[in-house]
Structure 1
Amino acid sequence: MIKQIFPFVLLLLIAACTDKAPKEVSSVDPINWNNRKAKVFVTDSLVQGTSYLSVYSEIYSETEHRTHNLTSTISMRNTNSQDTIYLNKAEYFDTHGNSIRTYFDFPIYIKPMETVEIVIDEKDRSGGTGANFLFQWSIKPTSHEPYFEGVMISTSGQQGLSFTTQGRRIE
Structure 2
Amino acid sequence: MNKRSAVVLLVTAMALLSGCDPSAQDPNVTLSENQQDPIEALEVTSNVDRSEFSYKETFYVPIYSDIYTDKDNRKVLLAATLSVRNTTLEKSLYINKIDYYDTDGALVKSYIDKPIELPAMATLNYIVEKEENKGGAGANFIIEVEGADDTVKPVIEAVMIGNFSNKGFAFSTEGTPVIH
Q: Same fold (TM over 0.5)?
A: yes
For residues 49-68 of structure 1, the C-alpha deviation after alignment (integer angstroms, 9 at most, x for no partner) is 10000000100111497100
CA 1:166 to 1:142, structure 2 compared with 1: closer, same or farther past 3 Å?
closer
Q: Distance in 2 between matches of 1:170 and 1:26?
A: 30
Q: Distance in 2 between matches of 1:116 and 1:31?
A: 11
SS of the aligned residue for 1:34 comes to helix
Normalising by structure 2, what TM-score? Answer: 0.75
Q: Aligned residue for 1:143?
A: 151
Q: Distance in 1 between matches of 2:154 and 2:72?
A: 35
Q: Which runs of 5+ in 2 are unaligned?
A: 1-11, 30-35
Q: Aligned residue for 2:129?
A: 121
Correspondence list, 1:1-171, <5 A: 20-21=19-20, 27-29=27-29, 31-38=37-44, 39-63=47-71, 66-156=74-164, 158-171=166-179
Q: Aligned residue for 1:8?
A: none
> Bigger radius of gyration, 1 or 2?
1
Q: Distance in 1 between matches of 2:78 and 2:120?
A: 30
Normalising by structure 1, what TM-score? Answer: 0.79
Which is strand-richer, 1 or 2?
1
Tell me whether 99-108 or 149-158 shows the greater mean CA deviation: 149-158
For residues 121-156 of structure 1, the C-alpha deviation after alignment (integer angstroms, 9 at most, x for no partner) is 111111001000000110122414111100000134
Q: Distance in 2 between matches of 1:26 and 1:148?
A: 22
Q: Aligned residue for 1:5?
A: none
- Superposed CA RMSD in Å reads 2.7
- Number of equivalenced pairs: 156
Q: Read off the aligned partner of 2:143 and give its amino acid letter.
A: F
Q: Read off the aligned partner of 1:27 and give its amino acid letter.
A: P
Tell me whether 27-36 or 76-85 shows the greater mean CA deviation: 27-36
Q: Read off the aligned partner of 2:20 and give its amino acid letter.
A: A
**Contact 2:159 2:173 (8 Å CA) reproduced:** yes
**Contact 1:26 1:124 (8 Å CA) reproduced:** no
**Contact 1:94 1:130 (8 Å CA) reproduced:** yes
Q: Read off the aligned partner of 1:153 and give its amino acid letter.
A: I
